[in-house]
Chain A
């Protein structure tokens, strides 16, 4: 039932090669849309539509990977990390739209402000355990969004209010390509940070906190500092994604940078791909994002759900998603990477065992 060492390695190798090929294609294909390439008659492998999807995927890779630092590695399942995305977006948004800063100067401040907020809020919050921490962090996510949209100063909305922020368009050639590579760079950064964390003293301390916080503290791990640092790091990366998003999307308001669904999506992506691994959350992000878009009918490849009108389509998509979430949570607690990493073979008995372990 448990894969042997040899097939372990075989699967891992197959998976890594497949992933590398996909990543190479994703990064190089968009270059075919450059004018220079077009005039050289290179076939168009990726157009604007795919660039937009790819950029969104990269965005979720950042968010899922970042969440994994506090949720998967440290074991504190934060449920409101979208707050940091929104804070990053509004920070850059405000600096560019209101204070007229150049975008590339305003961008680095997004992770800084997000991290500062995380540290401020994290100090009291991370003292809470289990349910309390999860819902308190959910509350943060919701409350921050609400506050940012509705705070008024002398009758004027401070952050643009309900009508949101409009950023001047960033002037650069091949804008879509630029933002794709910028967001991908952020994704690569998050993965690199995770890789570093997992092999550093810091990361070992975080895992110790996750496994047994009391033991970790008597062994010399400064649990408070480490937890807050982990939270801040996750916030910084998430905030960076938000900052890039604000200029890419040109428009920022409560609905598009503080959506509650993002909280669950990033967690689900990390879970699906396998928490505690370097590439897991990224894999989960790619899979889940494509799935959500596919169900919603926004991909060129689509299918018609019988008996469902186009109006009802998005609603049915959400239902299918909810059902999928339920099924995944019940049957596959350890994630997709478990299978491809060779730890276990996807089999009926594995699913049955999962079920038995967790049900009454």
Chain B
């Protein structure tokens, strides 16, 4: 394990009943990296994210952030250390406006540069501009479209001033144009110095923006490396599409 790793997972295991949703996962993320996590449904991707962000407690293994273990920490403490995340099914604060939603992230979040009320709302406006929601800042959440709500979810997480941002399938349900816009948003967030770890099913995104991809299957790391290489890996194809299709692909 190199000294430069910002996030380190060692043998992370999470069980539900008798089933290990995540089983002995090891990998490292370096600071400034932008890494994709892919894998078929049920592979344990969201569970992994929940483990990192503290929503789930580990059944085994350790997670280290900047060298120190964060296993067993409450979610708000992990957030204050600088790890932010979005949810696959967005969880906006329904009775607040978009600006207020993002301001919550700015008011709390990482201890680094925590703001007072005024500063928080100012930061919220900046972040809304970054994700393209500035025009709708004063609208209640109920008035926002699905792509807008996804943007809001990202904005709120970015407003916590994270050093690592975990994105859970932000592209799901978006059309091609919206995906391009979202890609731009992810790139600009990354460009501002944030390490990004994203779960995705849309391969175009992984290939387009990630430097590295980690493939998860049945709770274990199946393959790791550059996206184009990993996606051509036989085992990966087999995991996604099944043995017979993989064989057909090979013989064709």
Contacts and interface: CB of A to CB of B under 8 A. Distances in A.
Determine whether A and B are in direct contact in the complex, meaning some CB atoms lie less than 8 angstroms apart. yes
A222 B96 CA distance: 20
Interface stretch (A80-88, A213-221, A305-313): A213-221
Chain B interface size, as a band, is 20 to 34
Interface in B106-151: 107-110, 116-117, 120
Contacts of A199: 117
B161 to A, nearest CB: 10
Interface stretch (A30-38, A142-150, A203-211, A248-256): A203-211
Contacts of B117: 199-201
Given A207-B96, A211-B95, A218 B103 contact: no
Residue from A204, A216, A220, A276 having most chain B Cβ neighbours under 10 A:
A220
B104 A219 contact: yes
A219 B106 CA distance: 9
Nearest to A225: B76
A212 interface: yes
Given A207-B96, A217-B75, A212 B108 contact: no
Contacts, number: 78
A215 B153 CA distance: 10
Contacts of B5: none
A223 B108 CA distance: 12
Interface in B52-109: 53-55, 74-76, 78-80, 84-85, 87, 91-96, 100, 103-105, 107-109
B160 A215 contact: no
B156 interface: yes
Interface string A242-276: 00000000000000000000000000000000001
A218 B95 CA distance: 19
A199 B156 CA distance: 19
A17 to B, nearest CB: 27
Contacts of B79: 217-220
A222 B76 contact: yes
Nearest to B91: A215
Contacts of B109: 219-220
A220 B95 contact: no
B79 to A, nearest CB: 4
Contacts of A208: 93, 104
A200 B94 CA distance: 19
Contact of A204 (B84, B87, B94, B103): B103
A211 B93 contact: yes
Interface string B30-51: 0000000000000000000000
A200 B80 CA distance: 19
Interface residues of A, number: 21
A216 B76 CA distance: 8
Contacts of A205: 104, 107-108
Nearest to B156: A219
Nearest to B141: A211
B160 A220 contact: yes
B51 to A, nearest CB: 13
B74 to A, nearest CB: 7
Contact of B93 (A201, A212, A218): A212
Contacts of A215: 87, 91-93, 156
Nearest to A213: B91
A201 B75 CA distance: 19
Contacts of B91: 212, 214-215
Residue from B105, B108, B109 having most chain A Cβ neighbours under 10 A:
B108
Interface string A217-237: 111111110000000000000
Contacts of A223: 76
A219 B160 contact: yes
A208 B101 CA distance: 8
A218 B96 contact: no
Contact of B104 (A200, A216, A276): A216
Given A201-B107, A219-B109, A212 B80 contact: no
Contacts of B96: 207, 211
B9 to A, nearest CB: 18
Contacts of A219: 76, 79, 84, 104-105, 108-109, 156-157, 160
Contacts of B94: 211-212
A204 B104 contact: yes
Contacts of B120: 201
A212 B92 contact: yes
A357 B42 CA distance: 36
Contacts of A221: 76, 104, 108
A96 B91 CA distance: 51
Contacts of B105: 219-220
Q: What are the 5 tightest A-B residue pairs by CB atom distance, in nearest-first order? A: A220-B108, A220-B79, A211-B93, A215-B91, A217-B75
Given A214-B87, A214-B91, A222-B76, 6 more contacts: A207-B93, A207-B95, A215-B87, A215-B156, A220-B79, A220-B109
Interface of A: 199-201, 204-205, 207-208, 211-212, 214-224, 276
27 contacts: A201-B117, A205-B108, A208-B104, A211-B92, A211-B93, A211-B94, A212-B92, A214-B87, A214-B91, A215-B91, A215-B156, A216-B93, A217-B75, A217-B76, A218-B54, A218-B75, A218-B79, A219-B76, A219-B84, A219-B109, A220-B76, A220-B105, A220-B109, A220-B160, A221-B104, A221-B108, A223-B76
Interface of B: 53-55, 74-76, 78-80, 84-85, 87, 91-96, 100, 103-105, 107-110, 116-117, 120, 156-157, 160
